[in-house]
Structure 1
Amino acid sequence: MKEEILNQEVFSFIIYMIHACANRWKKTAAQVYFALKQSGCLNHYLIPNYDILHTQSTDFVVKDIEEYLVKKEVIV
């Protein structure tokens, strides 16, 4: 499987979304990062779909991430 290379824009988006989720879920950024990494959300959803996701609202992307984690049975 080809590994995605993070450029500055994608990296900034990922950091922003980690903090947005942490704020919404009342968790630390580290807890959210671990859940996203464990579930594959970072490498299999957020990074590959950056071009589409970064144009959506923060609320939309957070809800999408929540759905992804539920499907993967990952609890934050």
Structure 2
Amino acid sequence: MNKTTLEFVTFCIGQVSRRLQMPRNIVYRKLKDSGILYDYIIPSYDVLHTFGAHYLTDDIIDYMKEKGVLAV
């Protein structure tokens, strides 16, 4: 993972953490353990980084719900 991708991942975790009012380390663990981080966010960086912050955060939270990481 290069520096740009790492900064993007950090941004995503921070945005989701703020929206869910959940500690960053918990958000990171949920994204990592569910596969969302390494199977979706990192491989889809080229597309995802073009989204606005609000849309991106909604997208990740919706996917977390779909995967059962968050209660609906």
The letter for the 1-side match of 2:61 is E
1:41 alignment partner in structure 2: 36
Unpaired runs of 5+ residues, structure 2, are none
TM-score relative to the length of structure 1: 0.88
The letter for the 1-side match of 2:60 is I
1:28 alignment partner in structure 2: 23
Q: How many Å apart are 1:66 and its aligned residue? A: 1.0
Unpaired runs of 5+ residues, structure 1, are 1-5
What root-mean-square deviation, in Å, do the aligned CA atoms of Structure 1 and Structure 2 show? 1.2
1:39-63 CA deviation, whole Å, 9 max, x = no partner?
1111111000000111110111111
Q: How many Å apart are 1:30 and its aligned residue? A: 0.4
1:1-60 CA deviation, whole Å, 9 max, x = no partner?
xxxxx1000000000110111111111100100110111111111000000111110111
2:8 alignment partner in structure 1: 13
Q: How many Å apart are 1:75 and its aligned residue? A: 2.4
* Aligned-partner Cα distance in 2 for 1:74–1:24: 15
| Superposition misfits of 4+ residues, deviation over 3 angstroms | none
